[in-house]
Amino acid sequence: MTIKTKLNSKNPFLTLIMVLLFLTTTSELIAQERKDELKDFKIIIEKTDQGIKMKSTEGSAWSDLSFNLKNYQPQALDEYGMAELDNPSKNKDKNIADYLFKITKTKNGIELEGIVGTVWTELKFSLPKNKKQAINQFGMTSLN
């Protein structure tokens, strides 16, 4: 007994299932490929009266950064420190992570916009003054 199925306009349900299966498989492969390209980094963020204090414990050329930042004023950061979005660093070191994101201090917390080297594209969290939160290429993580 042989079952033959033709993909034509007479069987739209089967055609739809095949297209959905293809799209699902393709998007999973692309997501996995992107995840494999990311390098580890870990940054501890502290909100202060004057701005932001940051400590990189992994994946950056810098170890400590501190800068004045008014509420709702974004600042770009990469693996080398403070950056400019329209002039990204061309120096790439294979021993450190390649990332670029914007950080914005808000009244109640921090907003991040991942541009390069992160799974997240947007990350928002509350952060009281003088408290800390760690982030990495996947999002929020533990301080330890």
Same domain (yes/no): 25, 63: no
Q: Calculate mean pLDDT across residues 34-45.
A: 85
At 33 the pLDDT is 41
**For residue 16, what is the enclosing H or E element?**
helix 12-37
Amino acid identity at 26: T
Query: Which contacts (CB < 8 Å, 24+ apart) does range 92-101 have?
Result: 93/61, 96/39, 96/41, 96/59, 96/60, 96/61, 97/38, 97/39, 97/40, 97/41, 97/59, 97/60, 97/137, 98/39, 99/41, 99/59, 99/137, 100/76, 101/76, 101/77
What is the distance of C-alpha 8 from the center of its chain? Answer: 42
Q: Do 76 and 114 share a domain, yes or no?
A: yes
- Residue 18's pLDDT band (boundaries 50, 70, 90)? low
Residue 66 lies in a domain: yes
> In 24-72, at which residue ranges do the beta strands (DSSP E only) sit?
42-47, 51-58, 64-68
Strands 42-47 and 132-136: antiparallel
Whether 137 is covered by a domain: the verdict is yes
Q: Report the pLDDT value the prediction gives residue 89, as an integer from 0 to 100.
A: 80
Domain co-membership, 35 together with 54: no
| pLDDT band at 91; cut points 50, 70, 90 | confident
Q: Please give the structure tokens belonging to residue 107.
A: 């009244």
Q: 2 or 138: whose pLDDT is higher?
A: 138
- Asked whether residue 4 is domain-assigned, the answer is no
3-state helix, strand, coil in the chain (%, to 5): 20, 40, 45
Question: Does residue 6 lie in a domain region?
Answer: no
pLDDT band at 28 (very low <50, low <70, confident <90, very high): very low
Region 78-82: what's the mean pLDDT?
Answer: 96
Mean pLDDT for all residues in the chain: 84
- Is residue 65 within 8 Å of residue 85, measured between CB atoms? no
In this predicted structure, what is the pLDDT of residue 10?
Answer: 63
Single-letter amino acid, residue 119: V
Taking residues 97-114, what's their average pLDDT? 96
**Per-residue pLDDT, 86:** 84
> What range defines the domain where residue 128 resides?
42-141
What's the pLDDT band for 40 if we cut at 50, 70, 90?
Answer: very high
78/29 same-domain check: no
| 19, 50: one domain | no
If we measure between CA atoms, which residue out of 106, 110, 100, 124 comes closest to residue 41? 100
Q: Are residues 17 and 53 in the same domain?
A: no
